[in-house]
Structures are given as C-alpha cells and as structure tokens.
Structure 1
Amino acid sequence: MTDPGQAPRRIGIVEDDAHLRRYLCEVVAADARLEIAFAAGDVAGATQRIGTGPIDLWLIDLQLPDGNGADLVRRLKAGSDVKCLILTVLGDRTSVIAALDSGADGYLLKDTDPRALVSSILSALDGYAPISPQAAHFLLDLYQQAARTIRPASDEAALTGREQEVLRLFSRGLSYREAAEVLQISAHTIRDHVKAIYRKLSVHSRTEAIFEARQLGIISSSD
C-alpha cells in the first residue's frame, strides 16, 4: 500500500451534489495519507484545474450537469497517466463498460462505505483497479461471454471487413450519419451492419460491441 512516510497524495473531486461533495472532502481529508487538491461541481470547473498543479487521483461522478464523467476521464488519460476513479450511482452494465472503456482505473458506487472508499483510493494509487461488486459482476459476465464468442475466422460470428470498419469508426466517436459519410454508404446500410455486429458479438449497444471487438482482437485499443 501507499508509503505512510511520503507526502499526502492529492485528490481532485468532481461531484455536482454539493452535500455529497462536502462529505467526500471530509472522508478524504480525514486520512493523513490524502489531501484535497480541489472539489468541483461540473466538467467546466474540473477542466480549469487541469495543469494547474499536481493531482494524483481524480474522483469523478459520471452524471454531471455539463457533460459525462467518462468523457472527462478520456481527456485526462489522453494527456497524462493520472489515476481516475469513477464514483457514481449508476450500476448498470452500459455505464460500467463505458467508464472502464474510457480508461478509468476503477468503478465504485456512491453507497461505498467511507473506509472502503479510502481503501479503494489508496489501492488505485498503488496501481490496482478497485471495482464495486455490482460492477465486477458485469465484467465477469463479459469475460464469460467473450470466451463463448471466440470462434475460428470462418465461423458465422466472424465480422466482415466492412463491419470491422464500422466498429473502428464508432470507437473513434463517429455517429451513424458520420460513419455513413466516411464509408460513402447510406445510414440505412450502417444500421444493417450494426444489427449484424450485435448479433455476431451477442451484444446490445455500440459500447459493448467495441469492448467485445477489442477483447477479441478484432479491432485494437488504439482504434
């Protein structure tokens, strides 16, 4: 665990609920190994803190009034190796996958016990990936699903070259319409490809499809 003799690790908190934000500050500040670098209520306030001083870990809510926490994580990770820990009320499959796909170093629910929260922060700082049991359930399910999905390239589940192109464009954030324009095909054709992708990978959303394709090596993590 974190060396108790070193300087306190600086934590940034991004949470729009003022009462919860104060509570989180109290929980973090109560541990001598940690200190509050800042506490912001939205993406704009958090963005102003980027590059203004050392921050060892960002504790980020997913649902913010002016944006999504996963997008903020993606931006932070693009510019540094800072640790980002999601703390949210959202425990659904899509939210978990989207957050972890953005590069988050862990996923906790807001009902996490204060001691467990501090332990998770320290664990993330030490290079581990703390995940609430509810979120871990989805990851286990995805792993098992991926194991069942792996088949020879000649199998029905193998994606065509065009379907792989569509997934790569989606992984870069393009919409149906934008992907259609890049590939010079109709949006209707894109939807047909998406239906085939979902069926072959046994998924129900673009985020799940991208995750599965990366796990299977169909597209790379850099796509």
Structure 2
Amino acid sequence: MPRPRRIGIVEDDAHLRRYLNDVVDADPRLEVAFTEGDMAGALRRIETLAVDLWLIDLQLPDGNGADLVPRLKARGKAKCLILTVLGDRTSVIAALDSGADGYLLKDTDPKALVEGILSALDGYAPISPQAAHFLLDLYQQGTRQARQRPEDSVLTTREQEVLRLFSRGLSYREAAGVLEISPHTVRDYVKAIYRKLSVHSRSEAIFEARQLGIISSVE
C-alpha cells in the first residue's frame, strides 16, 4: 500500500485547525504533517518537513496566505490548495495567479474537501463553484488582456523591480538585499505600489501589475 500523502495545514483559527486535522487524518490516503497558525510558522516548516500539499487559509494574522504560495513553490514540488471564506473575485484571481493549485471555500463538506485534496495531488485544480464563476467570467470577457491605465498609476522603475522580486517569491528583506536598500525603503515602495494600483496585498499587486502589462506573467 502506498504511503499516505502528507498535508501541511496553515489556518489561524484553532477550532478549524483541529477540524481540518481530523478530516485529513480520517482518510487513510492522507496524513497531517503539521498544523500552523501563521505564515511565519509555515515558512519555518519548509526546511524541516517533507509535505505533499499545503492547505492554506488566506486571512492569516501576519499576512495574506496567497503570498506564501510562490515562496513554497520555489522550495519544492508540493501542491498549494487555498481553503478560505473569501469568495470574492479579487481574492480568487489573486490566489490562483500566485500559483495556487486550487481554491475551495471553507463551507466545503468533509468528503468534498478530501476529494479536492486528492484531486490537487493528482495534478488537477479543484475550484469551488463560486470561484469557478469568476474564471468563466474572465474567459468570456477577455479581461486577461492588458488594459489601458491612467498615468498616475504608472509605477517607477524601482517600484517595478520590487514587484518583480515579490513575484519570484522574495520577502521584504530578501528584496532589500538584492536591491541593496533597507527593508524600510522597500516598505515605502510597497505603500506607493498599493496606492497606485488600488490594492491591499502583495498578491493583488502582482496580479494587477500583470493585468496592466507592467510586469510579465512569467515573472
């Protein structure tokens, strides 16, 4: 019999974390590798434990879970499946654009959740119906083509460099090191980027910049 697939759970709500732990462990094909309540804890696990799939909440106390995805992808071949209460268009598209392998809502029943995890592990992309609606809408409207943007939203060369580094999974400190500036200066650039693009997270900024043609979709 093949070994159970190892699942890492990143969820800040303790009750839901225990529930997810029980759902995963109840299936003999799966086992919980660890549970963490924030991004920092998840990042510490990268170097210490082998994981086949990360089950990630978006609303974590120290950031947007979608920002974890490119960093996790850069470190290995594990799948990343978003599990969240957020079913709005911006959250769905930004998470999938970050490289997530699927997007499920937290009201997904236990059986469907396990099926979604196994589906992602097999190379498919499980998507909750509400999230799939936005993808269909994007396809029908052709909104993935670059749009015209007002002059006041144009990013400076350095702001674009910061976004490119973020899209490759670098942290504030890592980006500062590459650009040979302080992390504080990076944060100032990020504030300007958020203001110009009317966004509130790194993943949203990357998504919006790609849609506007500011950075390439392959970066």
TM-score band by shorter chain is 0.7 to 0.9
Q: RMSD over aligned Cα, in angstroms? A: 3.3
Does 2:137 correspond to 1:138?
no
Does 2:92 correspond to 1:100?
no
Structure 2: gaps of 5 or more residues: 167-174, 176-185, 199-203
CA drift of 1:149 comes to 5.5
Match of 1:21 in 2: 17
Q: Which of 24-33 and 165-174 deviates more?
A: 165-174
Match of 1:123 in 2: 119
Aligned counterpart for 2:64 among listed residues 65, 68, 75 = 68
Does 2:211 correspond to 1:212?
yes
Match of 1:37 in 2: 33
CA drift of 1:221 comes to 2.5
Match of 2:105 in 1: 109
Match of 1:153 in 2: none
Name the TM-score, length of structure 1 as normaliser: 0.72
CA distance in 2, matches of 1:8, 1:149: 41
CA drift of 1:169 comes to 4.8
Contact 1:97 1:207 in 2 (8 A): no
CA drift of 1:220 comes to 3.3
Q: Which of 168-177 and 128-137 deviates more?
A: 168-177
Structure 1: gaps of 5 or more residues: 151-155, 180-186, 196-204
CA drift of 1:42 comes to 1.0
Q: Which of 118-127 and 41-50 deviates more?
A: 41-50
Match of 1:57 in 2: 53
Name the TM-score, length of structure 2 as normaliser: 0.73
Letter in 2 for 1:18: A
CA distance in 2, matches of 1:102, 1:76: 11
CA distance in 2, matches of 1:91, 1:170: 28
> Tell me, what secondary structure is at the counterpart of 2:45?
coil
Q: Deviations over 1:129-179 (max 9, x none)?
A: 0010111111111112227958xxxxx96999xx69879557525989749
CA drift of 1:41 comes to 0.9
Change in 2 beyond 3 A, CA 1:121/1:207: same
Aligned counterpart for 2:82 among listed residues 86, 93, 105 = 86
CA distance in 2, matches of 1:48, 1:58: 13
Contact 1:149 1:157 in 2 (8 A): no
Q: Percent identity?
A: 65
> Tell me, what secondary structure is at the counterpart of 2:142?
helix
Q: Structure 1 residue runs of 4+, over 4 Å off?
A: 147-150, 156-160, 163-171, 173-177, 205-208
